[in-house]
């Protein structure tokens, strides 16, 4: 396939729903061969995920009730980026969700949250020397906070106990940094 | 937080858009404390992801143009589960997307695709002894197929070259099985 041109030409774009956190788009377009089709996807601001490691070698995870799946899911602290840099959002989410501050915050990388259905880029940060205080959760967050020994949390990422693919991946992406700190 | 009860009680549920592949839901509900709020999410059937390893130690990846992000993204073969078992869907996707057949197909685990915004469970399969033939792609799939040496693909999963968190995680979840086959 020729990747030099634009493989998708938009001919229609409409919002079927909008709120400040996410919007639903139905877009009509033409693929290279001329066939026209509709593609439905979700639009949302960028997000940050934070893997927080305490000074005594524990990872701070959150267990959230997720309405779409009607289930409690272990995840890493995460949230949308507002009118701020991603790093500032990471510090804010760490403070708001788990009441944490950190000695050091390191940008690890970014990915698309779900490129088949979502516009957002998600940025990963590793926070070390984390101290926990009081959290200020938003009303739609049904959440518990837990400190999990790092080896156990990494094992949960590898064995599927963590049912959020993205959170499990975030932990595995930070594994070299976590091990470096555990050795330090 | 008390997890014994139902933390979310639905009071309204409406589809703002539906197609055979995905629907958009806006649900009104009450959280434990009585506050009422709307939650918008996407409904989609279960999906399968397949990590295909050829007999000569290469992983079969696909590079797709993803309309929501306007970008080409490396992913593992994947698709929705129809009126069939997930294992049958995995064999079908392997055949349709990359024209592959496999000597062995192994269920590795499942997760939620994006539990904050999507209802779907995603099932991971590891296919070994994969032979490639001709693919039968759907018209909305703008896709290239590539055979990548296993070590390189795993490195791409660890260094962020693979921009789909879920596909990168799928590769890392299969890493022990891949290494077992490479040694065999």
Q: How far apart are CA B31 and CA B5, in angstroms?
A: 11
Whats the size of chain A, residue-wise? 184
Nearest-by-Cβ selection for A17 from B8, B24, B169: B24
Q: What is the pLDDT of residue B184?
A: 81
Tell me the HSE value of B9 on the side-chain side, using a 13 A CA sphere.
9
Least confident of A104-108, B137-141, B180-184: B137-141
- The full 3-state SS of chain B, as one line of letters, equals CCCCCCCEEEEEEEEEEECCCCEEEEEEEEECCCCEEEEEEEECCCEEEEEEEECCCEEEEEEEEEHHHCEEEEECCEEECCCCCHHHHHHHHHHHHHCEECCEEEEEEEEECCCCCECCEEEEEEEEEEEECCCCCCCCCCEEEEEEEHHHHHHHHHHCCCCEHHHHHHHHHHHHHHHHHHHC
Q: What is the pLDDT of residue A4?
A: 53
Nearest-by-Cβ selection for A164 from B3, B44, B111: B111
Q: What is the pLDDT of residue A94?
A: 96
Q: What is the pLDDT of residues A157-166, one digit of tens each?
A: 999 999 999 9
Q: What is the pLDDT of residue B157?
A: 98
Which positions in chain B touch A121 (Cβ < 8 Å)?
69
Q: How confident is the model at residue A133 (pLDDT cuts 50, 70, 90)?
A: confident
Least confident of A146-155, A168-177, B131-140: B131-140
pLDDT at B64 over 60: yes
Q: What is the pLDDT of residue B160?
A: 96
Interval B147-171 mean pLDDT: 98
Interval B158-164 mean pLDDT: 97
pLDDT at B33 over 80: no
pLDDT at B144 over 50: yes
CA dihedral B5, B8, B11, B16 (to 10 degrees): -150
Q: What is the pLDDT of residue B134?
A: 72
Return the higher-pLDDT residue of B32 and B29: B29
Q: What is the pLDDT of residue B1?
A: 47
Give the architecture (CATH level 2) of B47-183. Alpha-Beta Complex (3.90)
Distances (CA, A) of A125 to A78, A79, A167: 10, 12, 12
Q: What is the pLDDT of residue A7?
A: 87
Contacts of A103 (CB under 8 A, 6+ apart): A55, A128, A129, A130
Interval B104-130 mean pLDDT: 98
Q: What is the pLDDT of residues B79-93, one digit of tens each?
A: 999 999 999 999 999
Which positions in chain A touch B72 (Cβ < 8 Å)?
3
Q: What is the pLDDT of residues A53-102, one digit of tens each?
A: 999 999 999 999 999 999 999 999 999 999 999 999 999 999 999 999 99
Nearest-by-Cβ selection for B69 from A73, A112, A163: A112
Q: How far apart are CA B37 and CA B20, in angstroms?
A: 28
Which positions in chain B touch A43 (Cβ < 8 Å)?
68
Query: If we measure between CA atoms, which residue out of B54, B43, B11 comes closest to residue B29?
Result: B11
Q: What is the pLDDT of residue A160?
A: 96
Q: How confident is the model at residue B103 (pLDDT cuts 50, 70, 90)?
A: very high
CB contact under 8 A, A118 and B40: no
Q: What is the pLDDT of residue A137?
A: 66
Q: What is the ipTM of this complex?
A: 0.94
What residue in A sits closest to B14 (Cα-Cα)? A17
Sheet-wide strand order for B8-18 = B8-18, B23-31, B36-43
pLDDT at A136 over 60: yes
Q: What is the pLDDT of residue A138?
A: 65
pLDDT at A23 over 90: yes
Interval A105-115 mean pLDDT: 98
Q: What is the pLDDT of residue A140?
A: 58
CB contact under 8 A, A35 and B139: yes
Mean pLDDT of chain A: 93
CB contact under 8 A, A67 and B143: no
Interval B35-49 mean pLDDT: 95
Q: How confident is the model at residue A11 (pLDDT cuts 50, 70, 90)?
A: very high
Q: How far apart are CA B116 and CA A124, in angstroms?
A: 17
Tell me the DSSP string of chain A: ---SS-SEEEEEEEEEEE-SS-EEEEEEEEETTS-EEEEEEEE---EEEEEEEETTSEEEEEEEEEGGGTEEEEE--EEE--SS-HHHHHHHHHHHHH-EE-SEEEEEEEEES-TTTB--EEEEEEEEEEEE------TT--EEEEEEEHHHHHHHHHHT-S-BHHHHHHHHHHHHHHHHHHH-
Q: What is the pLDDT of residue B3?
A: 54
pLDDT at B129 over 90: yes
Interval B142-147 mean pLDDT: 91
Q: What is the pLDDT of residue A1?
A: 47
Domain boundaries of chain A, sorted by first residue: 8-43, 47-183
Q: How confident is the model at residue B140 (pLDDT cuts 50, 70, 90)?
A: low
């Amino acid at each position: 396939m020729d990747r030099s041109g634009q493989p998708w030409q938009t001919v229609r774009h409409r919002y079927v729903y909008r709120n400040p956190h996410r919007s639903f788009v139905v877009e009509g377009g033409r693929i290279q061969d001329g066939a026209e089709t509709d593609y439905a996807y979700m639009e949302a601001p960028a997000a940050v995920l934070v893997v927080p490691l305490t000074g005594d070698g524990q990872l701070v995870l959150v267990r959230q009730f997720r309405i779409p799946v009607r289930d409690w899911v272990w995840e890493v602290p995460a949230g949308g980026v507002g009118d701020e840099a991603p790093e500032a959002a990471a510090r804010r989410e760490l403070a708001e969700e788990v009441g944490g501050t950190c000695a050091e915050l390191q940008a690890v990388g970014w990915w698309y949250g779900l490129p088949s259905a979502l516009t957002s880029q998600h940025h990963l940060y590793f926070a070390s020397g984390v101290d926990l205080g009081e959290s200020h959760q938003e009303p739609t967050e049904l959440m518990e906070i837990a400190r999990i020994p790092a080896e156990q949390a990494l094992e949960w990422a590898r064995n599927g106990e963590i049912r959020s693919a993205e959170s499990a991946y975030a932990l595995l992406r930070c594994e070299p940094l976590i091990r470096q700190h555990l050795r330090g």
